[in-house]
Amino acid sequence: MTRVKICGISEFEDARDAALLGADAIGLNFYANSPRYVDPSKAATIIEKLPPFVTVVGVFVNHPDPQNLEDFALSLGLHAVQLHGNETPDYCSMIQRVKVIKALRVNSTFRVDTLRTYGSRTFLLDGCSPGAGQAFEWDRAFGANAFGSIIIAGGLNAENVAQVVSTLHPFGVDVASGVESKPGRKDYEKMRRFIETVRKTDVALMGGS
């Protein structure tokens, strides 16, 4: 089954709704320049109130110290860190006590075998402008599954996510702006339709009705 992550959560009500609608994970953005930034104290409140079985992912961009980042993630109760900057394979390998999701931008020069340099990890493949709701050419991701667990992001919404799931068979899909009413605030109906579309596509791929 394709995992669904609702990213850019900044209010508990949106996190609660995402979980109740069946999201597998939520993303909290700790990049200060993002319109979806959430400060650590508010993030802690959101995490504390979440129901069990929901994975919480922290989004970071070029944090200067991987050990400090790891300590921060553990103190807050994050299950994984999603690295959206220019973090090197060596940087990623220094984070051992929390799961790492390395985000990579898929552009005209992207090659899936680049993933090999990071070892066996989880990757998020995104558009050239993360958070801007811009899709990339999905055929550039063909073959990526051979190098780890692949999450597809960038311009996804209820109208196109079925095609992504059907053609790329990713481990997961990640959506932010595609289920928003404005940056950082989620739209309940858009989240419902997105998650429902993913689940129905999974069932169809397994031969269900």
61 alpha-carbon distance from chain centroid:
14
Closest CA to 27 of 124, 92, 112, 119: 124
What is the Cα Rg of the chain in Å?
A: 16
Q: Which residues are identified as catalytic?
A: 7, 126
Q: b or e along 170-186 (b: 16 or more beta carbons within 10 Å of the residue's beta carbon)?
A: bbbbbbbbbbbeeebeb
Distance of alpha carbon 160 from alpha carbon 83, whole angstroms: 25
Among left, alpha and beta (phi > 0; psi -120 to 50; other), residue 93 is: alpha
What is the three-class DSSP state of 64? coil
